[in-house]
Amino acid sequence: MYEVRFHGRGGQGAVTAANILAIAAVKQGFYAQSFPYFGVERRGAPVQAFTRIDNKRIDLRMNVYNPDAVVVLDPSLMEVVDVTEGLKEGGIIVINTSKKPEEFQLGNYRVATVDATKIAIDHKLGSLAAPIVNTAILGAYAKAVGNVKIDYVIEAIRENAPAKREENALAAKDAYEQTILGW
């Protein structure tokens, strides 16, 4: 079982990202489940969403406490939330940032970075002030984690993005190509 935790801010699409990753995983032949942190969502407030991926039916319905990977949609969250909390030793952190992986000192984790904000703006996703980065960051996930292939991620985005499906698919593809892996 592979567990992923998404950190975002209300309105950035972290919940949709978790859902699309689950859909892509199922397309690839896995079983998957996704759910938001069961809270009251407010725009701009820190939010979490989760995806579980497995080869067999998933029979777990408790929260994710020890994810294998963490995806950070907004780097400013890292100042207020410990995004590594519970992350398994050697786990992967995918961060939306213009920085390089070696600029982060987070412990024994593999860091992958991508400038999803720039990619989202280039594809006119969301507004300049509030770009929608969730599809771009999924491209980075596909590159950094690799268990769900980029083709399935793109297919899932094309079928499920709430708007601008083609632009979102291209954003994921660009992010996949531009992701920098640490270590």
Partner 1 sequence: MTRMMIRGNESIAYAFKLARVQVVPAYPITPSTLVPEKISEFIANGEMKAEFVPVESEHSAMSAAIGASARGVRVGTATASQGLALMHEVLFIASGMRLPIVMGIGNRALSAPINIWCDHQDMMAERDSGWMQFYAESNQEGLDLGIMAFKIAEDNRVLLPAMVGIDAFVLTHTVEPVDMPEQEDVDDFLGEFVPHYVTLDPEKPATLGSFGFPEHYMEFKYGQWIAMNRAKEVIEEVFAEFEKKFGRKYAKVTPEFAEDADILLVTMGSMTSTTREFVKKMREKGKKVGLVKLTVFRPFPKEELREVLKNAKVVAVLERNISFGFGGAVYAELSSALSTLKEKPKVVDFIIGLGGRDITFKSLEEALSVAEKAMNEDVDEVNWIDVNKEAVLKAEGLL
Find all residues with CB under 8 Å of 123, minimum gap 6, and list them: 136, 164, 167, 168, 170, 171, 174
Contacts of 86 (CB under 8 A, 6+ apart): 65, 66, 67
For residues 12 and 19, which CB has a smaller minimum distance to partner 1 in the complex?
Answer: 19
- Which CB, 12 or 117, lies closer to partner 1? 12
From the list 10, 11, 26, 118, which residue makes contact with partner 1 (rule: CB under 8 A)? 26
When binding is defined by CB under 8 A, the residue of 10, 11, 36, 86 that contacts partner 1 is 36
The residue among 28 and 178 lying less far from partner 1, judged by its C-beta, is: 28
Q: Rule CB under 8 A: is residue 33 a binding residue for partner 1?
A: yes
Cβ count within 10 A of residue 80: 8
Identify which of residues 16 and 97 has a Cβ nearer to partner 1 in the complex: 16
Task: For residue 11, state whether it binds partner 1 (rule: CB under 8 A).
Answer: no
8 A C-beta contact, residue 150 and residue 137: no
Q: Applying CB under 8 A, what is the total number of residues that bind partner 1?
A: 19
Q: Which of 14, 17, 32, 94 binds partner 1 (CB under 8 A)?
A: 32
First and final CA of the chain: distance in angstroms?
Answer: 24
Residues from 50 through 89 that contact partner 1 (CB under 8 A)? 58-63, 65
Q: Which CB sits closer to partner 1, 13 or 182?
A: 13
Q: How many angstroms separate the CA atoms of 151 and 126, rounded?
A: 23
Instruction: Summarize as ranges the residues that interact with partner 1 (CB under 8 A).
Output: 19, 22-23, 26, 31-36, 38, 40, 58-63, 65
